[in-house]
Structure 1
Amino acid sequence: MYLSINWLSEYVEHGLSADALADLLTRSGLEVEGVERGGPALDGVVVGRVVDVRPHPDADRLQVCDVDLGGVAGADGPVQIVCGAPNVAAGQAVPVATVGTVLDLPARDGSGVELVTIKKGKIRGQVSNGMICAEDELGIGTDHDGILVLDGDAVVGQPFADYLAEHGRGGDAVLDVNVTPNRPDATSHVGVARDVAALLDKPLRRPAGLRSAPPVPGVGGAVADLVSVEIDVPDACPRFVGMVVENVTVGESPEWLKERLVSVGLRPISNVVDVTNFVMLETGQPLHAYDLDRLEGGRVRVVAAEGGEAFTTLDGVERKLPAGTVMVADGERFVGVAGVMGGADSEVTEATTTVFIEGAMWEPSQIRRTAKALGLQTDASYRFERGADPTGQPFAVARAADLVAQTGGGVVVDGRIDENPRPYAPRTVRLRPARVARVLGVEVPVEDIARLLTAIGFGVEGGESGLEVTVPPFRPDVEREVDVIEEVARLWGYDRLPTPTTTAVPLVPAGDTPSARLLARSLRRLAALGFRETYTNSLVSRPTAEAFADAAWTGAAAPPVETLNPISQEMAALRPSLLPGLLAVASYNQARGAGSLRLMESGHVYRKAAGADENGADRNGAGGVVDGYHEHRALALGMSGAAVLDAWDRPARETDVYDLKGVVVDLLADLGITGVTETPRPAPDALTAYALVLEAGGRRLGVLGRVSDAVADAADLQAPLFAAELDWDAVVALADRDAVVAYEPISRHPVVERDLAVVVPEAQPAGPLLETIRRAGRPLLQDVRLFDLYRGEGVEAGHKSLAFALRFGADRTLRDKEVDGRVRRVVKALGAEHGAGLRG
């Protein structure tokens, strides 16, 4: 919420600069996220005091002044300034623009203003070290008859902007206050002023003059002959208040009203609409103005929509109403969405002469549901969702009616409509001073507790033995004793509460799961390989969730999980995969010049369980946390860009799928997972151009491949992305949790190397062959690698030749007979399991 300092000053004479006020509010629980300043730039202008004045020796209309600047601008004592103002005199406090200050001074030709930098120089032979300023030279007025003389108690050396702020003059400043949902009272200038007055021990006051508070008329009167109100849904509308202003001229608002709205970012529309906005920002009670002549029969009804009706709101958009939406209607049709926005058919126009002003209390949960269902967040719904003051409607409506009459030349019809089916019942809370001391760690005097609570509208009775605290209606968040203690703490000052010298910490040893330990180990290994960890949101849009719930990637044909009450359409479902986040991070970094990417992310993924049984177990055998749903931790890897950069001794090489496969295989091997099979995808799917499915021990471990061109284009990728996603729960189930890294010295005995070339069908992958060779060559086989692929002369069509280098060794010298025997076992196993034959 935006808060104008000048506007706030009408309700409490705080005397603080914008920064000081922001600090005060933040320390009391109302966080100020930013300060925006308006008005003239006054940097370098300070308060000075004229010590001596003497005539200029060479100019009749000039005076030479000695001015004390309080040590500002490096001056050890008074500085000499030449001044031409007739009213300058010794002892005055004056605004002084020091050397280097830039001012918007009136142009000499009268055409406007021009930027002038104040410099040290000579005027008719006398040195001048600055400028004593008039109102128009500072941009805070039009008077140029003489210099501006300040109050006698002005502090010498003080920045002039701070002096103006303390005296309610000069440019305005606006605070951006982050109002938490539990503080509906702080959504208005009066509400914040109430806190400021309590914190500074100053009175809370009503503005005087044109904007004075009017008396609230009684219920009934002449207005009852013009309007009738019926509430069909009292649970949604506890109170409905209305007044009528006749003979109104709708037109432009006066300057003071437009200035107030513009200062907090609202666009003035007309005097009637501007008044309702002004009163809402002043009191926190949203209002709505109707053209009474356009309300059929003068009837106003509060009803619930059946669902599916079309309604055009003030913004000109036709909306379909969900069933149960609370609406304001006349005798024939809907005229407004209750607590959110009015309708186009009853709005106030230039032809309006009779205005009906509505001020209602709406149930917060109802307004929250309506605003989310319609995707329509307004200033009114923002306040009603938090809970308006259930007793504040009569004053707010009377205030608005009075201002409409003043700004539009109208007459307020006597009396008010006030339907109140659920009258407000005051709440009282028992407060024990001893309990305050135990909770806060410091004894707050009972008289201070009473003073602070009274200052913010609480009723307090009692003494040392206990206080009966009556909670004001505008504080629905205060329900228990501890809530009242929190109010005492923030007003007394959090910085005044002592810090305990000792804190009780339970002696419970920190624990960790095997899954978390293995994940931390793998992430460290990946970081050593150049991967950077990312964190992305587990909530995605519904179309994204549906697109990435592809069974070819996730391994399960199951729909994604949608959220019941999404914060926004972009956060309407839980992610079925980590791939969307990986794509977003890759796109973001590529767009900013990151050519070579190595990304990793671990996190939970979700889906509805495919064929879930009564225990919520899916076909992979994993039990769901919630019946009918599946959730598991996944680990995603992404690689893109250059694998090897161009250098003097080698050419550059782009990353390919084998780089990623090597990382995944290395990762699994480090966890002791062997016997991994790789099944190529027979055809491209929606997400990948090609992919390999990894399995071991009868379980699907995950998939790796290249992201399809369509998906890459949609994500604005500038280079191909190779991605892998592992089911970490499945990986942990197969991992050797007790495996340790053990030192093994280099053998002093020679190794024996043999090459083996076999012919296999073209579709046969090399991975299963490598696994068979390792198994059949044990225990003498130390290493095996594929070093050649050949197709052509001497190899039957539809086949290929794969050549492997085998390395044998032991803690002794091997004999050829032993090695030959192992090679024969390998050849036999390759033929039996894969139909491989030795190449001739």
Structure 2
Amino acid sequence: MNISLNWLSDYVKHGLAPDALAELLTMTGLEVEEVTTGGPSLDGVVVGHVVSVRAHPNADRLRVCDVDLGDAAPEAGEPEGRRSQTVQIVCGAPNVAAGQKVPVATVGTELMLPSRKDPSQLEPVTIKKGKIRGEVSNGMICAEDELGVGDSHDGIMVLDEDAAVGQDFADYLRQRDALPGDTVLDIAITPNRPDATSHVGVARDVAALTDQPLTLPKVDVPEAGGEAASQASIRIEDAEGCHRLVAMVVRGITVRPSPDWMRERLEAIGVRSINNVVDVTNYVLHELGQPLHAFDLNLLEGGGLVIRAAEAGEVVTTLDDQERKVPAGTVLVCDHEKPVAVAGVMGGANSEVSGSTTDVLIESAYFDPSRIRKTSKALGLQTDASYRFERGVDPTGQARAAARAAQLLAEVAGGTVVPGLIDEHPTPYEARTVTLRPSRVAAVLGVEVPEDEIVRLLGAIGFEVSDAEAGRLDAFAEAAMREEGVEAAAREAADAGLRVTIPPFRPDVEREVDVIEEVARLWGYDHLPTPASTPVPLVPASDTPSARLLARVRRRLAALGFRELYTNSLVPKPTAEAFADAAWTGREGGPVETLNPISQEMAAMRPSLLPGLVAVASYNQARGAGALRLFEAGHVYRQSHAATDLVEGYHEHTSLVLGMSGETPATWNGPARAADVYDLKGVVTDVLADLGIDGVTETPRPAPEGLTAYALDLHLGDVRLGSLGRLADGVGDAAELQEPLFVAELDWDALARLADRDEPARYQPISRFPTVERDLALMIPEAQAAGPLLDTIRQSGKPLLQDVRVFDVYRGEGVAGGQKSLAVALRFGADKTLRDQEVDGRVRRIVKALESQHGATLRS
């Protein structure tokens, strides 16, 4: 928000340079982001004192002046202290005289002076040290027009006798409100400071910080009723949306351009001047913080206003000539037949002030902040009015703002204010009071702030502080009535503190600690002591078992050459729908959409981690990255109606995704080769083994129409752990992948529940007993996967079976059609030397289980 220093000076004479004021405001919570200065540049121009004047030896019209420019740093060898910096300047002005205080452009200053080729044009000229007719001149004593602060060129500018020698000339003018142009502060207003969205609001803080009086504009607020009540009417039907509505009538106005002073102030803060009527409402908005609207009274059917909630499908044509379909429940300002404004946001085109307007109705209201915020967001329309209504305007300031606008209209538009005002107030404001204990102020801030200073600071920003002694006596009486001991009652009364009434324009202040914060920022954060040490809790931080397991898996994957990703959980809606395939995620339910997306790229929550993985793989492949090994752990979301969901209607869980693409690097004993699904399956198996999860079954699942060209579903009993496969060609083409991408996505929450949470197995010495190895050649159906067979072998071979692996698959001569031969190697061992009978018995048990469960037979 922009604040004009010229405008601000109407309310408080702070006497600070713009940068100093910006620093002061920033340190008290009103961060100044930028300082923009208009008008002439006066850098390098200082106040000088003409010590002596003598005639120039070589020119009759010139004078040689000795000018004191104020304090200068002592040169080498000189004692510390003040050293007057006196310079010689040649001046041709007829009015220069000894003893004058004058503006001096020092050497290096750049001024805009008339061009020698065309005196009507100005050009930049840098003041240099030189000689004029043989006499040295170290600067320039200036006239008004040479500095751009006036039109006179009759002689040099002579300043007041009390001007401080060496002072910046701009500061001298600013202290006298004579600085031309304007300086604008761009202040970042936090949502908790609606009071600071106006010049008076900022001036209130500045007055408290500089201990200067606050001067408010004089406004005569008429009593409710009067002649105005007979010429117009207002009615509030939506009391929840509009707590107060005030209206005044001004007749006989002439719509024309605004006077220069008003136009210049508005344009300085970035508000376009339109006409005197609209400019008045904007002026009061930026002066007092209360949005207003001026209606052409003759265009209002029934001669009045009605505040009501919009019905479904209503359309309002706003001042920007846009037809806007407002949501049901929107607060509308209507006449007796039609809507004439979207309340708190923008007026309507059907009642706007035009060149033919002669009578206006000024509307000043308090609208519910949450209702205005919803309307503004729904329409995608934020205005100066909605910006303030959303934060909460002063609920008691409507009549004052309306009267101020009427007063200005009579001044700049020649109108006559109809006596009286109309005031509907269904929700009167109730004053809020808190108790402030000086002992609590000291405890919270770490420093004792004098009680009289607390009272002064709070009073300066509009807080009413009652007499401390009265507060203590009341507290003593209350304590005594509770039949407490006199001593205890006296102690309680001594700490009863001050009764502080919170001003209505500060809705953010509710508790004692909020008032203490106000004291702290006005007293100055730089006055608060810095503790010599800060206590650190002795309770060690602890992670959940699931987080510790995930950290272990992260380290494992990093050791295997994988790089971790962190991608955005918000994705475009079409992407969320494409990757919400229940065949891949294992969960039904559509994607979760966001209510107010920042952009269409962030319109939905991710149902899977695959979109982020695919995007990162595409980005890296396009930049020449060959072998990609990627993983990410994060939350995924979808709609759900399960009773176990934390938030009704939505499901959220942690997922772990892995991706591989490109060649595996060449080694000394083998060439580079393209990664395949078995490489990724090996990594997934390694992760599961590290978690102590075994007995996982793998079920092939062709998915030609889904996200993957093929996939394996991983289960442990009835628990689904995830899926593994190759990304479908269509998805890869859409993502512009240059290499096949193999992916696996695991349900981390399920893995964490099933994992062995004990520490990883420690080293065990190699057994000194020999192992026994046997090979089996099995005839199995062509469609039979090897994984389930290996699981059956492991279960049946316990406890002697130590390892099983597939070492050959054969199809051809000797093998019937529709079948294949699978050769597996078995290794048995124990803490003793095994006998053949023990191993043979275990092999027979394995073969029998394979025959009964999978229809496998030994190949003859």
**TM-score between both structures, scaled by the size of structure 1:** 0.80
Range 709-718 or range 727-736, more displaced = 709-718
Distance 1:664 1:128, change over 3 A: farther
Distance 1:697 1:451, change over 3 A: same
Q: Secondary structure at the match of 1:635?
A: strand
Provide the aligned length of Structure 1 versus Structure 2.
Answer: 822
Deviation at 1:35, TM superposition (A): 1.3
Question: Contact conserved, 2:49 with 2:165, CA < 8 A, in 1?
Answer: no
Q: Tell me what 2:585 maps to.
A: 554
Distance 1:73 1:597, change over 3 A: farther
1:481 aligns with 2:512: yes
Q: Give the partner amino acid of 2:652.
A: E
> Following the alignment from structure 1 to structure 2, what is the Cα–Cα distance between the partners of residues 816 and 404?
112
Deviation at 1:362, TM superposition (A): 1.5
Q: Tell me what 2:200 maps to.
A: 190
Range 439-448 or range 232-241, more displaced = 439-448
Question: Contact conserved, 2:255 with 2:358, CA < 8 A, in 1?
Answer: yes
Q: Tell me what 2:191 maps to.
A: 181
Percent sequence identity over aligned pairs: 65
Deviation at 1:398, TM superposition (A): 1.8
Question: Contact conserved, 1:230 with 1:302, CA < 8 A, in 2?
Answer: yes
> Following the alignment from structure 2 to structure 1, what is the Cα–Cα distance between the partners of residues 809 and 172?
85
1:670 aligns with 2:685: no
Question: Contact conserved, 2:71 with 2:166, CA < 8 A, in 1?
Answer: yes
Question: Contact conserved, 2:90 with 2:135, CA < 8 A, in 1?
Answer: no
Q: Tell me what 1:35 maps to.
A: 34
Range 253-262 or range 740-749, more displaced = 740-749
1:365 aligns with 2:370: yes
Q: Tell me what 1:205 maps to.
A: 215
> Following the alignment from structure 2 to structure 1, what is the Cα–Cα distance between the partners of residues 592 and 836?
62
> Following the alignment from structure 1 to structure 2, what is the Cα–Cα distance between the partners of residues 295 and 763?
82
Q: Tell me what 1:450 maps to.
A: 455
Q: Tell me what 1:217 maps to.
A: 222
1:410 aligns with 2:420: no
Distance 1:695 1:166, change over 3 A: farther
Question: Contact conserved, 1:42 with 1:160, CA < 8 A, in 2?
Answer: no
Q: Tell me what 1:311 maps to.
A: 316
User: What whole-Å deviation, never above 9, does each CA across 1:169-224 have from its counterpart, x for those lacking one?
Assistant: 36644444343333321221211211121122111123xxxxx6442233333333
Question: Contact conserved, 1:752 with 1:808, CA < 8 A, in 2?
Answer: yes
User: What whole-Å deviation, never above 9, does each CA across 1:105-156 have from its counterpart, x for those lacking one?
Assistant: 5544347454556666666666666666666666666566666666667677
Question: Contact conserved, 2:589 with 2:640, CA < 8 A, in 1?
Answer: yes
> Following the alignment from structure 2 to structure 1, what is the Cα–Cα distance between the partners of residues 123 and 815?
89
After superposition, residues 384-533 of structure 1 pair within 5 angstroms as 384-464=389-469, 465=472, 466-499=497-530, 508-528=539-559
Question: Contact conserved, 1:37 with 1:171, CA < 8 A, in 2?
Answer: no
2:294 to 260, 278, 289: 289
1:734 to 751, 754, 757: 754
Q: Give the partner amino acid of 2:214.
A: L
User: What whole-Å deviation, never above 9, does each CA across 1:269-316 have from its counterpart, x for those lacking one?
Assistant: 333222212211211111111111211121211122232222222233
Question: Contact conserved, 1:48 with 1:70, CA < 8 A, in 2?
Answer: no
Question: Contact conserved, 2:101 with 2:163, CA < 8 A, in 1?
Answer: no
Deviation at 1:330, TM superposition (A): 0.8
Question: Contact conserved, 1:19 with 1:35, CA < 8 A, in 2?
Answer: no
1:701 to 721, 730, 736: 721
After superposition, residues 20-31 of structure 1 pair within 5 angstroms as 20-31=20-31
Q: Tell me what 2:652 maps to.
A: 631
Q: Secondary structure at the match of 1:335?
A: strand
Deviation at 1:517, TM superposition (A): 1.0
Q: Tell me what 2:240 maps to.
A: 235
Q: Give the partner amino acid of 1:728.
A: W
Q: Give the partner amino acid of 1:740.
A: P
Range 151-160 or range 629-638, more displaced = 151-160
Deviation at 1:693, TM superposition (A): 3.3
Whose radius of gyration is greater, 1 or 2? 2
User: What whole-Å deviation, never above 9, does each CA across 1:618-676 have from its counterpart, x for those lacking one?
Assistant: xxxxx332456433222344567x66799999999887766655544433332222344
Deviation at 1:827, TM superposition (A): 9.4
Q: Tell me what 1:332 maps to.
A: 337
Question: Contact conserved, 2:70 with 2:166, CA < 8 A, in 1?
Answer: yes
Q: Give the partner amino acid of 1:671.
A: L
Q: Secondary structure at the match of 1:339?
A: coil
Distance 1:102 1:167, change over 3 A: same
> Following the alignment from structure 2 to structure 1, what is the Cα–Cα distance between the partners of residues 129 and 562?
60
> Following the alignment from structure 1 to structure 2, what is the Cα–Cα distance between the partners of residues 293 and 561?
50
> Following the alignment from structure 2 to structure 1, what is the Cα–Cα distance between the partners of residues 264 and 621?
46
> Following the alignment from structure 1 to structure 2, what is the Cα–Cα distance between the partners of residues 461 and 225?
41
Q: Give the partner amino acid of 1:198.
A: A
After superposition, residues 627-776 of structure 1 pair within 5 angstroms as 629-637=650-658, 661-685=681-705, 687-688=707-708, 691-705=711-725, 723-740=743-760, 742-743=762-763
1:603 aligns with 2:634: yes
Distance 1:424 1:589, change over 3 A: farther
Q: Secondary structure at the match of 1:401?
A: helix
Q: Secondary structure at the match of 1:361?
A: strand
Q: Give the partner amino acid of 1:483.
A: D
Q: Give the partner amino acid of 2:105.
A: V
Distance 1:468 1:102, change over 3 A: same
> Following the alignment from structure 1 to structure 2, what is the Cα–Cα distance between the partners of residues 656 and 146?
91
Range 290-299 or range 314-323, more displaced = 314-323
Deviation at 1:229, TM superposition (A): 1.1
> Following the alignment from structure 1 to structure 2, what is the Cα–Cα distance between the partners of residues 200 and 301?
45
Deviation at 1:61, TM superposition (A): 4.4
1:248 aligns with 2:268: no
CA RMSD of aligned residues (A): 5.0
**What stretches of structure 2 of length at least 5 have no aligned partner?**
473-496
Question: Contact conserved, 1:239 with 1:422, CA < 8 A, in 2?
Answer: yes
Deviation at 1:84, TM superposition (A): 5.1
Q: Give the partner amino acid of 1:194.
A: R
> Following the alignment from structure 1 to structure 2, what is the Cα–Cα distance between the partners of residues 74 and 785?
91
Q: Tell me what 1:109 maps to.
A: 117
